[in-house]
A and B are shown apart, each in its own frame.
Chain A
Amino acid sequence: AQKVTQAQTEISVVEKEDVTLDCVYETRDTTYYLFWYKQPPSGELVFLIRRNSFDEQNEISGRYSWNFQKSTSSFNFTITASQVVDSAVYFCALSEARNNDMRFGAGTRLTVKP
């Protein structure tokens, strides 16, 4: 079965700092999908990005960017110029194309201090 590891349990930064959240995955499938979700203090789970295994192109969306590297089985998430509103728990997840069970990592709690 697939596995997602988010080694950073908690990260604390000061506003305007850049921060990178790490995600390492394991799968035996050649076709798979990677995701990032945000869970703010209010508790809902908000979808941020989906990447398929054939698309290693990095993506940037405003202050958010994602670096997908198959060679190291990593899908890292960087927030540039962090803001207090970025404080949340961030989850990385993976699903394999042959089934559809999306498995989550343990999450990284990001605290951005003013």
Chain B
Amino acid sequence: DAGVIQSPRHEVTEMGQEVTLRCKPISGHNSLFWYRQTMMRGLELLIYFNNNVPIDDSGMPEDRFSAKMPNASFSTLKIQPSEPRDSAVYFCASSFKQGGVNTEAFFGQGTRLTVV
């Protein structure tokens, strides 16, 4: 398996523009996580899905952020409109959860977003 695949790896956009980050989880995994990493706030959990259903989006900073998982092999994180303070590295991760057992999550390479 190729692991968790994120695209793009780097994104530079102007303030006010819409940004869409993409993630393909590891095949067979049923949990997917979106994290944001900044120097100030560390690794923050934004939202996670189990079996394509959003379970907890309390980490999503504002209504400008939205995430979808239309099927088991694809998820998007959208920021509209983007602001300079959204600049960060965004990680997607996937894992397998069954019967109360939480396995380790494997991370994608991340998307470095710069909003100017």
Contacts and interface: CB of A to CB of B under 8 A. Distances in A.
B109 A44 contact: yes
A94 to B, nearest CB: 10
Contacts of B107: 37, 44-45, 47
Count chain A CB atoms within 10 A of each CB in B89, B97, B102, B104 and give the residue with the most. Answer: B102
Interface residues of A, number: 24
A98 B101 CA distance: 9
Dominant secondary structure of chain B at its interface with chain A: strand
A103 B102 contact: no
Nearest to B97: A100
B43 A104 contact: yes
B82 interface: no
A43 B56 contact: no
Contacts of B48: 100-101
Contacts of B31: 100
B55 A45 contact: no
21 contacts: A31-B100, A44-B107, A44-B109, A47-B104, A50-B104, A52-B101, A91-B43, A95-B102, A97-B102, A98-B100, A100-B55, A100-B95, A101-B33, A101-B55, A101-B56, A102-B33, A102-B45, A102-B102, A102-B105, A103-B45, A107-B42
Interface of B: 31, 33, 35, 42-43, 45, 48, 50, 55-56, 89, 91, 93, 95, 97, 100-107, 109-110
Interface of A: 31, 33, 35, 37, 43-45, 47, 50, 52, 91, 95-107
